[in-house]
Amino acid sequence: MSNRPIRVGVVGVGRGKSFAQSASGAVGMELVALCDIWEERLRELAGELSVDGYTDYDAFLAHDMDAVVLANYFHEHAPFAIKALRTGKHVMSETACNGTLAEGVALCRAVEESGRIYMLAENYPYTVFNQEMHRLYREGEIGEVTYAEGEYNHPMSRDASLRISPGFDHWRAWIPSTYYCTHALAPLVYITDTRPVGVNALAIARPERTLTLRRGDPGSVILCRMDNGAVFRLFGLGLPGHSNWYRLHGERGAMEITRGPGYFGPGDVRVWHEPWHLEPGEDAERVYKPDWPEHGDLARKAGHGGGDFWTSFHFARAIRSGEQPFLDVYRGVAMSSVGILAWKSALEDGLPFEVPDFRDEDARKSWENDHWSPWPKDAGPGQPPPSILGRREPDPEHVPYALRLWKDMGYEG
């Protein structure tokens, strides 16, 4: 393996295009195949990248390759990952590891049984400022974390929202506001190497129907108790006012990304200490723009603040070393499950829920049959709504506009 590129196949030709382009010689990878049921776009991208394209996942997995990157729908990664692992492929999965607690348990077991590498492709830990705060924390700059905040709030215009989620049953229209929590939580976990053990949440709902036909609520606040006793506050998902921001308080100081215009703000890191915590030669406060620890020329060209380069980089390195990456299946499933358990909490107006230790078979076994799910394909008795206001129907007045827009973009589903 060390003498040849890692042969990679990518599932998904929308978001997956970024991964397809990242699977390059720069990280020791070679793209060999694509898979999607969107035939027209599949043919275009496969031709553009000179690789084979498949609409059948089983045929795709039979292609001669070492690893699979999953960039399919948010809530459908686990079944695809488990199937790939069982055919001997390494797997990197976008966004969320599991759509239910039962899937999370099954995925952990599949990784253990296969002996293959699994990585959550969470890109926000690897922005330049989060890597810098990771370095500072490891050097003891602020001491052990006691409290932290993570925000990923990404509002969209009506047209942008409709274009990115065509169809009445698209996952983006149904996702509960707590589910998309890893962009807020993962950087804090990466910086501090702590694990969520408990969760409470409240959803932010509006009674009026939305122009985008969204069924879920626009925002939520999650409180995570971590295994060292710290509390992390997470905020998102689509309320007005873009925000991608992280702040950590420790036993001897604090640090954050400075706020400002733009999605990532100015990209500066602020570190400050109380006078009685200052060590000789240490500044009470400093604000500066960090640089990449390495490979800055490649990271600066990648999406999501450079994170799209680093996920492929760490996945390739894990495959070559045979050692699971930091964002392994246990951390990935735990963080993904925070979103699910937080939704259970939000529907109970903040009732606390324990986050199981997915490394422990005894701890996770009690969740192996938990198929609790808000997605339309799983609808039935005992299944939750996507909003704390219940099951809302799209406003009939706004449906014709959505249908026209989807038709113009070529969607006929």
The CATH number linked to 205 is 3.30.360.10
Query: What pLDDT is attached to residue 396?
Result: 86
Query: What pLDDT is attached to residue 21?
Result: 80
Q: Are residues 116 and 144 in the same domain?
A: no
Query: What pLDDT is attached to residue 293?
Result: 87
Q: What does the pLDDT look like over 17-62, one tens digit per residue?
A: 888 887 788 889 999 999 999 888 899 999 999 999 999 999 999 9
Q: Are residues 190 and 271 in the same domain?
A: yes
* Residue 161: strand, helix, or coil: helix
Q: Are residues 222 and 353 in the same domain?
A: yes
Considering only 53-62, 104-113, 218-227, 287-296, which range has the smallest mean pLDDT? 287-296
Query: What pLDDT is attached to residue 24?
Result: 80
At residue 149 the predicted structure's pLDDT band, cuts being 50, 70 and 90, is very high
Q: What is the mean pLDDT of residues 232-260?
A: 94
Q: Where are the alpha helices (DSSP H) in 170-248?
A: 171-174, 182-192
Q: Are residues 191 and 212 in the same domain?
A: yes
**Is residue 2 predicted with pLDDT exceeding 70?**
no
> 188 or 264, which is more confident?
188
What average pLDDT does the structure give for the chain? 93
Q: Is residue 45 part of a domain?
A: yes
**Is residue 104 predicted with pLDDT exceeding 80?**
yes
**Is residue 398 predicted with pLDDT exceeding 90?**
no
Q: Is residue 413 part of a domain?
A: no
Q: What is the mean pLDDT of residues 339-351?
A: 98
Q: Are residues 148 and 265 in the same domain?
A: yes
Residue numbers of the domain that contains 265: 125-302+324-378
Q: Is residue 190 part of a domain?
A: yes
Q: Are residues 344 and 241 in the same domain?
A: yes
Chosen domain end from 289, 321, 353: 321
Q: Are residues 160 and 293 in the same domain?
A: yes
**β-sheet bridge partners, residue 33:** 9, 52
Q: What is the mean pLDDT of residues 341-366?
A: 97
Q: What is the mean pLDDT of residues 154-163?
A: 91
Q: Are residues 139 and 280 in the same domain?
A: yes
Query: What pLDDT is attached to residue 208?
Result: 65
Q: Are residues 46 and 118 in the same domain?
A: yes
Helix (H) or strand (E) holding 97: none
At residue 198 the predicted structure's pLDDT band, cuts being 50, 70 and 90, is very high
- Closest to 293 (Cα-Cα) out of 58, 178, 85, 133: 133
Query: What pLDDT is attached to residue 16?
Result: 81
CA distances in angstroms from 63 to 52, 207, 272, listed in the order given: 9, 49, 53
Query: What pLDDT is attached to residue 25?
Result: 84
**How do beta strands 29-35 and 6-11 pair?**
parallel
Q: Is residue 162 part of a domain?
A: yes
* Residue 57: strand, helix, or coil: helix
At residue 378 the predicted structure's pLDDT band, cuts being 50, 70 and 90, is very high
Query: What pLDDT is attached to residue 222?
Result: 98
Number of domains in the chain: 2
Contacts for 215 with CB less than 8 Å, ≥ 6 apart: 173, 174, 385, 386, 387, 391, 392, 394
Q: What is the mean pLDDT of residues 350-357?
A: 98
CA–CA separation, 200 and 325 (whole Å)? 28
**Is residue 96 predicted with pLDDT exceeding 70?**
yes
**Is residue 307 predicted with pLDDT exceeding 80?**
yes
The percentage of the chain sitting over the pLDDT mark of 90, rounded to a whole number, equals: 77
- Specify the CATH number for the domain of residue 24: 3.40.50.720
